[in-house]
Amino acid sequence: MLDFTGQVVLITGAGSPKGIGRTIAHTFGRQGAQVVLCDINQAGLDANVKEMEGLGYKAYGIAGNLCEKESVDALVAEVTAKFGRIDVLVNNAGVSQKVTVADMKLDDIKRIFNVNMFGLFLITQAVCEVMKKQGYGRIVSLSSVSGKRGGGVFGGAHYSASKAAVLGFSKNLAREVARDGITVNCVCPGLINTEIWKSMPDEQAAEVIAGIPMGRPGETQEVADAIVFLASKEASYITGEEIDINGGSHMD
| Beta strand 182-189 pairing with 58-63 | unpaired
Q: φ and ψ at 15, to 5 degrees?
A: -100, 0
The residues annotated as belonging to the active site are: 159
